[in-house]
Amino acid sequence: MSDNQPRSKSRIAVDAMGGDNAPQEIVAGAVQAANDGIAEVVLVGDRSVIETCATAKELAAVEIVDVRGQPVAMDEHAAQAARRADQTSLGVAVNLVRDGKAAAVVSAGNTGAFHAIALLSLGRIRGVKRPAIATVLPAPTGPVLLLDAGANVDCKPEYLLQFGLMGDAYARTVMAIARPRVGVLSIGEEATKGNALAVAAHELLAKAPLHFIGNVEGKDIMSGATDVVVTDGFVGNVVLKFGEGMFTQLFALLRESIMSSGILGRVGAIMLRRALRPLGERLNWERYGGAPLLGLQGICIVTHGRAKALAIRNSVRAAAVAVERGLVKAIADEIAHPRESGLSR
């Protein structure tokens, strides 16, 4: 399927007011997704503000659900946001999925609030103990799924087992990996290495109906050694933020080095630009859109707070593909009846 596009158009709700670059970039990305035929897009937010972000002709491609309440702030406490969810663009967007008026929801807003509101409004898939944020990392050899990336900072071994099962289901259905390699993040390759959580999780995952490859170390995440990396939300979020910061600083240092290297250095950089462009594209997180909240009774895509139009467009694409390929059912089946497994549930 070209560009991993869905075959038919799903109706995707987009929180127009959430994110550091809202609403301008959110609206631009939503309009782009609609015009590209990715999905039927419903922008949820203050109509009067949304209409200042694009022309009437551009907005004709999307539907607008007018919500005038104060948007959820990026630093608002999740519980407070959940209490007033029905008056916010994020809460109304999630409720569209609950009420069957949209197939999925996308937001670049407050992740904690999104998680809390979606959990209360949609509920968990039967048997799922904790939903998890699954982040697609743009590794040089191909995308790697990391979960949990921040939804659950304190975990039990059985949570990590389910993260492995849900990650396997996502990798198979959405990423089209026939037999995903699943590893648990630890400080050594041996099964006995790591803290009590990692050791116990290793034991459970080794018995699960997965292509479990054992422990993976931090250096293995970007090496192509695995497709799915399982860890608790505290460690996963630290890994994610460290990677973001490292790449940002490396590119900043490279740019500084080039600019200070004189005319020959700048000429060399120009000559290398074409050769390096494909690598830059592969490492661009915006290509993969957002991170799904796995384990909920609905498709919820969390995209980066600083997301711009391209990331929003691709988050809508990721949501539409997940809907078309039956992600919720795939996870429900995996949890209820793990393939070839006699695990108790």
pTM, whole model, 2 decimals?
A: 0.85
CA separation for the pair 200, 219 (Å, rounded)? 22
Give yes or no for a contact between 184 and 205, defined as CB atoms under 8 angstroms apart.
yes
The full DSSP string for 191-230 is TT-S-HHHHHHHHHHHHSSSEEEEEE-GGGTTTTS-SEEE
pLDDT, position 97: 97
CA distance 231 to 224: 17
Beta strands 132-137 and 144-147, pairing class: antiparallel
Contact in structure between 96 and 105 (CB atoms under 8 Å): yes
Q: From CA 218, how far away is CA 275, in angstroms rounded?
A: 28
Residue-level pLDDT at 58: 93
Task: Please report the pLDDT score of residue 30 as a whole number.
Answer: 96
Q: Could you give the CA distance from residue 240 to residue 263 in angstroms, rounded to a whole number?
A: 36
Tell me which H or E stretch contains 104.
strand 104-107
What is the CATH T-level fold of the domain 1-128+295-325, as seen in this structure? Isopropylmalate Dehydrogenase (3.40.718)
Report the topology of domain 134-286: Isopropylmalate Dehydrogenase (3.40.718)
Q: What pLDDT, on the 0 to 100 scale, is given for residue 34?
A: 96
> What's residue 339's pLDDT?
62
Domain with CATH 3.40.718.10 in the chain: 1-128+295-325, 134-286
Q: Are 228 and 137 in contact (CB under 8 A)?
A: no
Separation between Cα atoms, residue 235 and residue 186, nearest integer Å = 10
The residue ranges of the chain whose pLDDT is under 50 are: 1-2, 340-345
Can you tell me the distance from the alpha carbon of 136 to that of 62, in angstroms, rounded to the nearest whole number? 27
pLDDT of 345: 35
Written as one letter, the residue type at 96 is L
